[in-house]
Amino acid sequence: MYPGSDPPDFGSVATISDNGYAEKRLALFSHTGTHMDAPSHILPDGASLDTFPVDRFAGKGCLLDFSSHPGPEITQEDIAACRHLVDRSEFVLIHTGWSRYWGTDAYYTRYPVLSVDAAEWITGFRLKGLGIDAISVDHPDSSGFPVHRLLLAASILIIENLTDLYHLPSHGFLVTVFPLRILDSDGSPVRAVAML
């Protein structure tokens, strides 16, 4: 969970032995775990996830591996070196290696993000989405969420808290990130799958 949000609550409300059927109650925020941000998450007049056609949640993916990157920001120069991959993709997945800190306090601090100029550069492509293996695409102390704003204003959906990106090749896979279909959804948990 993003710091300050309540954790999800999953409880059993019926069991086969007591009720003849099983059912669970799910209580969670729209930005729980691996999730997708809609433009309406940050932008006052931004589109909600339910307004996007279903084909916006699947497409050709590429992996940009910055797991050995030394700095806190991935710059335009860094990412422009991967143009040949971004050019032929609909989803860009950024592997920072940060998911190794999942479940620890370190996960919420000092994670690598795109610089504002890198985010602006990537909006020049016809992408459906950009995903990262960190809690956010903006710095933890960000005021105004500039990377969110740039990507979402370009209708590039954001997928956060990805994991296991090290399994993927640099290209040649299909990304699927289907959200729950919730009216006026500013975001949704997703089951993120890459199919090789």
Residue-level pLDDT at 141 = 86
The pLDDT score that the predictor gives to residue 154 is: 98
Q: Give pLDDT, residue 140.
A: 87
Q: What is the pLDDT of residue 71?
A: 73
pLDDT of residue 175: 98
The reply to whether 103 falls in a domain is yes
What does the mean pLDDT of the chain come to? 95
Check whether 2 has a pLDDT greater than 80: no
The answer as to whether 2 is a domain residue is: no
Number of domains forming the structure of the chain: 1
* Whole-number pLDDT of residue 179: 97
pLDDT given at position 162? 98
Assess if residue 8 is contained within a domain.
no
Q: What is the mean pLDDT of the segment spanning 100-120? A: 94
Parallel/antiparallel/unpaired status of strands 157-160 and 113-114: unpaired
**Looking at residue 78, what is its pLDDT?**
95
Mean pLDDT value of segment 93-112: 94
Within a domain: residue 108? yes
Instruction: State residue 70's pLDDT score.
Output: 74
**161 found inside a domain:** yes
pLDDT number for residue 143: 85
Phi-psi region of 169 (alpha: psi -120 to 50; beta: other; left: phi over 0): beta
**Domain range holding 146?**
30-195
In a domain? residue 52 = yes
- Within a domain: residue 142? yes
Are 174 and 60 in contact by the 8 Å Cβ rule? The answer is yes
What does the pLDDT average to over 24-53?
Answer: 95
pLDDT in tens, 162-192: 999 999 999 999 999 999 999 999 999 999 9
Asked if 85 contacts 116 with a C-beta cutoff of 8 angstroms, the reply is no
CATH at 60: 3.50.30.50
